[in-house]
Structure 1
């Protein structure tokens, strides 16, 4: 810390560390604050630099107490794996900006923390049923909404059973698994006569339409790029529908059989 004089004219102030308990996100976080204290009047004052350190200390303390990886741990584990921030962004599917924020104090969600731990701690266990992501109905709605923006038209239509919307969703999940290492929604898919479809889709339709999109994890820049590329490649519904019937994932599976995410490596459509 730099030097500081008492504003009341008592001369040089002394550097001290003070233990504090700060209420943050519903819990009490214990931190140590570095301040200047006047030995005469007891006035305590911090600096702009110390204010930044306090915010980081609160963030780190909160994450420690709630079982989340701290900024220091994320950075250390990443370097131990020989990974750059860009590498970590690629394998997890999170945006590079998110990785940088988490390593400098921003607090990740429980879901994001689980994914970070999977890639940074121990051996990663491939899940070809959900594409290495927990299933999220709000995220399905978020992805479909992003497609509607990219296409400039509605694809989630009342009483249409997602005949066409599911094809866009399937390509998004499969391409994300292929390029980013995990799907966008964690949805499972099945071989049906009209192409790849959400498994048990009849039970999910109302839940998807009524989902609280605010509970969905934000789409990363990489995920949005995939959605925009798919929309550009398949500007009309029938294009995605027809292409899905030519995919090995559908041609080489039986009616009712799950379409695993391992098929992502064999996508026929050249979506650039």
Structure 2
């Protein structure tokens, strides 16, 4: 059987019962875990004199833990560090968590230390990954906990609930704007909310803000120019053709989100009172966070911003109407990124 040597020492061979040159290495072995044979690369020692393999207590424990980890992976069981992370997420001790779960106080300690959990206990722990499930457990068994610990957990749950809501909302937005697709209409990228928000804030950072019509065109040129250069969009946004030019799909919803979060300030400007023509101006309320963008993406952002800096909303709208992507797309339809190759910038 293959033996991969990784070291050497001089020690007493337990078989020869004499001091020998002992090779240390790795060898494939089969260990029985719950009546199932698990193959691992076991750490063993080898005596060239008696030609026997053996392992000391420390190595045997390491090999068992390797087999346990492989068994857990095969059966979709939580690893010890994952169990610990679940508990620590709620800022609770092993003893307190065990009390809430109704387990013996030593059980959780054993699992976090490497003992193999049974499937029933594993399923309970999996449910505890969701703060809402933990809250139910906590409300049912908080009488088993000290008052200061109850207050501590309640505070932690408020934060986790808010975090869960934000994560859900972000995923919803990514699906809403990008239709959770990766194809020619998204620029072969899933919608990235952070990158899209960074671009919008960058374009709206100028004193006096930017009209919504121009803001939408700048976002379109940013993604399409980057696609022209590298064959992939930056934000994964799906754009559609409207009478005044290309716009991000569902852009009104997104702008409303940024305004409600006070990241953007919106002001209505009257252009023609008699004809009731009103435009919306957006101004960044804070400096844009460009850390989500790569160096190349930032350079592209700055190129678009500089190229159109002297054009007003009407002028950039007319400019976009001359683009092949706009001219070869029907009103209301998605604009394919394939037209980026003909971009006039």
TM-score of the aligned structures, taking structure 1 as reference length: 0.46
Compare the two structures and name the one with the higher strand fraction: 2
TM-score (structure 2 length as normaliser)? 0.37
Instruction: Mark the structure with the bigger radius of gyration.
Output: 2
